[in-house]
Chains A and B, each alone.
Chain A
Amino acid sequence: MTILQTIGFGPSGWGGLLLIAALMTLCVTATALLIGMVFGTLIAWAKLSGSRLARGLGSAYTTIFRGVPELLIIYLVYFGGSSLVTAIGAAMGFEGFLGLPSFAAGALAVGIISGAYQAEVYRGAFLAIPKGELEAAQAIGMPRLLRFRRIVAPQVFRFAIPGIGNVWQLSLKDSALVSVTGLADLMRTSQIAAGSTRQHFLFFIVGGCLYLLLTSLSDRVFNRAEHRANRSMPSGIGQA
């Protein structure tokens, strides 16, 4: 069999499966990014709040989840989540071991890590808002929620886009580790293809190229988003 047949889209080719796997990687990463947005916003809020307890909890979260290997966090969520599900199942009368779905476990684990990085991005973006604007909003009597919606959120989002782009790239590469839970993502599928055809070198090269494609395409998307978000701003330092 020629190389083209092996990686092509024919009946004996792995091309279709690899493309589906690449889509799976994108799905895991996108879900993780959304989960991370929720965690990140909450943690950034905690770190910026006046309460010392909330600040402490926020720093503990970012220190732990940025300082511990991603693989360990995936094991924690996968095995810990599975024993939790089993315990709940036992309480509801199911017998035996119940596993957490590997997609959910993977997206949650990468999301938790991504949340720790996103918290720092949002915190930095919030601190970049000129103090005068917040004071002006307060001075004309804008309520808290309205102030958040009109003044804080749009600017935080604009300042955060480059940072979110970096976090996305990190999560895309972290998502490869989710393959240890058996999810058929790009990493796992390349591994299976490599194992069953005994063409390890070929399939890891192809998998790596697909990852490169994903990272370079998403880089382009984020650059365009940054450009678009800044279209009303005067061009200055640090803008494309």
Chain B
Amino acid sequence: MDLDFMASTMVTLIAALPMTLALFSLSVVFGGLLALLVVWMRVGGNPVARGFAKGYIFVFRGSPLLIQMFLIFYGLGQFGFIRYSFLWPALREPFVCAVMSLALCTAGYTAEIFRFGLRSIPAKEIEAARAVGMSGFLLTRRILAPIAFRNALPAYSTEVMMMVKSTALASLVTVWEVTGVAQRLIAQTYRTMEVFLCAAAIYLILNFLILQVMALLEYRLTPHRRTAPLFPVAQR
């Protein structure tokens, strides 16, 4: 193993890290928003919306992300009305297609996670909130959303880690993120092991940091699970 080579590989790969982070953060944000919409349709009273949400979750969880990405990247340009619409300058970009397919796919998984979070809310708490006259948005904001998110957090952090790994597929639609650059280096130098170790280290550190953030978030959101301090801290 050649340390100089590994150092230069690391520098090359870290130069591609911003792209991976951009793909990851945009798709987590958009995927999360879309998941809220889907879960709202899934648990709502409208049977048409519920059917649509069920179908959405089935399709995006049941098929591989790669085929969804290729469908968007290669498939959409086939239609004249998309090719000549005002959206085409954006849809032509591989980066936009990659973010779109990542967000659409993760929304399916995240919607199911949020739904289980919602289902874990004890009926008593909702009844109590209704009894004091809360309903609609206030009920969601004060009771449903905080409890559901808190309960869904462990499963959601797994999904977020999966998202970090999924960004690698963007390299197959010519977005040069860490895995794509690593593949190019392997093809150029045939030093598979060294390049793999460098890229793997980047992903593992990234995942470790994200897990720490998630654990911190979970700690902040669950004060009721901690034992009360023996000597209360003086109020500021």
Contacts and interface: CB of A to CB of B under 8 A. Distances in A.
A204 B166 CA distance: 19
Interface of B: 58-59, 62-68, 70-71, 74-79, 161, 164-169, 171-172, 179, 182-183, 186-187, 190, 192-193, 196, 199-200, 203-204, 207
Given A72-B179, A72-B199, A211-B67, A64 B204 contact: yes
Contacts of B161: 67
A141 B76 CA distance: 68
A166 to B, nearest CB: 11
A58 to B, nearest CB: 16
A79 B187 CA distance: 8
Interface string A197-240: 01111001101100110011000000000000000000000000
A190 interface: yes
A212 B203 contact: no
Interface in A155-204: 172-174, 176-177, 179-180, 187, 190-191, 194, 198-201, 204
A75 interface: yes
Contacts of B196: 72, 75-76, 80
Given A63-B204, A64-B200, A75 B63 contact: no
A238 to B, nearest CB: 14
B10 to A, nearest CB: 15
B172 A180 contact: yes
Interface residues of A, number: 36
Nearest to B65: A173
A200 B179 CA distance: 25
Contact of A69 (B67, B78, B179): B179
B165 to A, nearest CB: 4
B66 A212 contact: no
A216 B62 contact: yes
A205 B70 CA distance: 10
A137 B37 CA distance: 53
A172 B173 CA distance: 21
A68 interface: yes
Contact of B75 (A71, A72, A200): A200
Contact of A190 (B67, B168, B204): B67
B62 A71 contact: no
A130 B34 CA distance: 43
A187 B200 contact: no
Contacts of A207: 67
Contacts of B76: 201
A199 B203 contact: no
B204 A173 contact: no
Interface of A: 63-64, 67-72, 75-76, 79-80, 83, 172-174, 176-177, 179-180, 187, 190-191, 194, 198-201, 204-205, 207-208, 211-212, 215-216
A201 B79 CA distance: 9
Contact of B67 (A67, A75, A208): A208
Contacts of B77: 200
Contacts of A75: 179, 182-183, 186, 192, 196
A110 B64 CA distance: 14
A200 B78 contact: yes
A216 B75 CA distance: 24
Contacts of A176: 64, 66-67
A215 B59 CA distance: 10
B165 A83 contact: no
Nearest to B74: A200
Contacts of A198: 78
A208 B186 contact: no
Contact of A211 (B64, B79, B192): B64
A239 B204 CA distance: 36
Nearest to B197: A76
Nearest to A204: B71
A83 B71 CA distance: 34
Contact of A187 (B64, B74, B166): B64
Given A201-B78, A204-B70, A211 B172 contact: no
B59 A70 contact: no
Contact of A208 (B71, B78, B79): B71
A83 to B, nearest CB: 6
Given A176-B67, A191-B70, A199 B78 contact: yes
Contacts of B79: 201
